[in-house]
Amino acid sequence: MATPVYKRVLLKLSGEALMGTDQYGINRAAIERMVADVVEAKALGVEMAIVIGGGNIFRGIAPGAKGMDRATADYMGMLATVMNSLALADAIKQAGLTPRVMSAIGIDQVVESYVRPKALQYLEEGKVVVFAAGTGNPFFTTDTAAALRGAEMGAEIVLKATKVDGVYTADPMRDANAQRYPTITFDEAIEKHLEVMDAAAFALCRDQKLPIKIFSILKQGALKRILEGEDEGTLVHM
């Protein structure tokens, strides 16, 4: 068995990744495929925490939220991440791993409240910890939650799973000549105005010297290849 490059990681999944080919909601086949990647990663002995967005569910009610107070809409989005976290945890459990969902907002009848020492204990016990409800505050994205929880958990890297296999010189969907950056520094990403993560999340990772790896969740086995040190995605570092 290969020795993983990282011992503890924070995986950031977008809610949209759970949609598969659907317009919104949860596609079971899509979530099971992602969990298969998590199972592969855990087999290497890696401690893993996950933050997931809620855009896939919130997208279905977006027209009704038009014109809504921003804070209210953000709280609705947090609840969407709880729903996604429960679905993800269920798939993780059925795959043979032990998940623990911890929420940044009080919803104790459904999931545990986030408590840092307990989350660290779960990671050390080999459980997969799924952090729900973002940071628990409006105006902050789940990208920021990933950076925050990654720093709190002592993760060695934030792995941001997207639909594109890294950061490119241009939009690879529109420009066939776009080149992928294997690595890039935080300062270079800022200078080039590359949208790696939202500004608050990016600044937190930079300040905490917490590297970010951008990779495609659509590429089967990409997560395992990253953990084994292969050239996959784009590493953003100091």
Q: What pLDDT is recorded for position 1?
A: 56
Q: What pLDDT is recorded for position 15?
A: 85
Distance between CA atoms of 189 and 121, rounded to whole angstroms? Answer: 35
Bind-site residues for ATP: 12-15, 55, 59, 162, 168, 171
Q: Checking phi first, is residue 151 left (phi over 0); if not, alpha (psi -120 to 50) or beta?
A: alpha
Identify the sign of the CA torsion 24, 74, 100, 161: positive
pLDDT in tens, the chain (238 residues): 567 899 999 999 988 888 877 887 888 988 999 999 999 999 999 999 999 998 777 665 666 667 788 888 889 889 999 999 999 999 999 999 999 999 999 999 999 999 999 999 999 999 999 999 999 999 999 999 999 999 999 999 999 998 888 888 887 778 888 889 999 999 998 888 887 888 899 999 999 999 999 999 888 899 999 999 998 999 999 8
CB neighbours (10 Å) of residue 220?
14
CA dist 73 to 69, 125, 200, Å?
Answer: 6, 36, 19
Q: Would strands 212-216 and 234-237 be described as parallel, antiparallel, or unpaired? A: antiparallel
Q: What pLDDT is recorded for position 160?
A: 96
Q: What pLDDT is recorded for position 172?
A: 79
Per DSSP, what are the bridge partners of residue 101?
Answer: 130
Least Cα distance to 101 among 143, 129, 69 occurs for 129
Q: What pLDDT is recorded for position 2?
A: 66
Domains of the chain, start order: 8-237 (3.40.1160.10)
Q: How far is CA 203 from the centre of its chain?
A: 17
Bind-site residues: 12-15, 54-55, 59, 74, 135-142, 162, 168, 171
Bind-site residues for UMP: 54, 74, 135-142
Q: Contact 160/195 with Cβ under 8 angstroms? A: no
Q: Where are the alpha helices (DSSP H) in the chain?
A: 28-43, 55-58, 62-65, 70-94, 116-124, 142-153, 186-191, 199-207, 222-227
